[in-house]
Amino acid sequence: MALHFKCSPLDLDEEQVLDYLHVLKSRHKTPSSSFFKHTVYGLRYAYRISNRKEMQVMLPAIERPKKLPVVLSCREVKQLLKAPKLLKHRLVLALLYGCGLRCFELCNLQLKDLDFDRMMLHVRQGKGRKDRYVPLSRMQIRGLKTYLAAENPCTWCFTGNNTEGRPVPLSTQGVRWIVREARKHSGIQKEVTTHSLRHSYATHLLEMGLDIMSVKDLLGHADIQTTLTYLHVAQLGRQKPFSPLDRLYKE
């Protein structure tokens, strides 16, 4: 832009900037092309550090690529859950999947959030500072009772250690390490993250017959559009999708 206009881009008015971006868009065919995208990002950064908020507002939005989430099969979830040797690590995986928790939500779990009588888990201050309740399975409750009796934590359900050796909440890095190690020992080839287990939770609930609004509430989504993403990966409908090869070579 500086070479084109022979001046600093910060000296250009709104009309000049938009005209230049229009030329780039037409030259590179798609607005997601790398040159166009990085020009917009560069301008955003320049305006931000120059405190030119009024110029930031007029810049076009860059559409993110629409990627579908990685979802594990039920068999793969079982493989992952049995991979760790420590009960604590298996429970971390079981809560990420069985309750659809975000990584930071699991780290923030306290003993007071466990309601074994009602078989519910209280997720406090999730994304958007919203609370919600999610069901606990009998299997999770058995494992948690065994773990709590053995470890006897005081406040946090899962703890790590700081440099002084005092118990602190399990870190998000610690949770990610547990997931990485479990994937490595399970033999699963898919790229598995903490959020993959949440994606699998939502998809499996839909496939098992739970309605989309209930799934939205369990996930703590503010917008139903976010939850609707899982309809693209869940195998729903009157007839399960199949490959034509199955019918072509049907015995």
Which positions are catalytic?
A: 102, 127, 195, 198, 221, 230
Can you say whether residue 12 is alpha, beta or left, with left for phi > 0 and alpha for psi between -120 and 50 degrees? beta
- Report residue 73: phi and psi, to 5°: -75, 165
CA atoms 80, 86, 92, 94: torsion sign: positive
Tokens of 201: 């939770």
Distance CA 191, CA 177 (A): 14
One-letter amino acid identity for 226?
T
Q: How far is Cα 185 from Cα 182, in angstroms, rounded to an integer?
A: 5
CA distance 212 to 201: 13
Q: Which residues contact 12 (CB under 8 A, 6 or more apart)?
A: 1, 5, 20
Q: Rounded CA gap, 248 and 251, in Å?
A: 9
Nearest to 25 by CA among 61, 64, 67, 56: 61
Distance CA 95, CA 79 (A): 15
The SS3 of residue 169 is strand
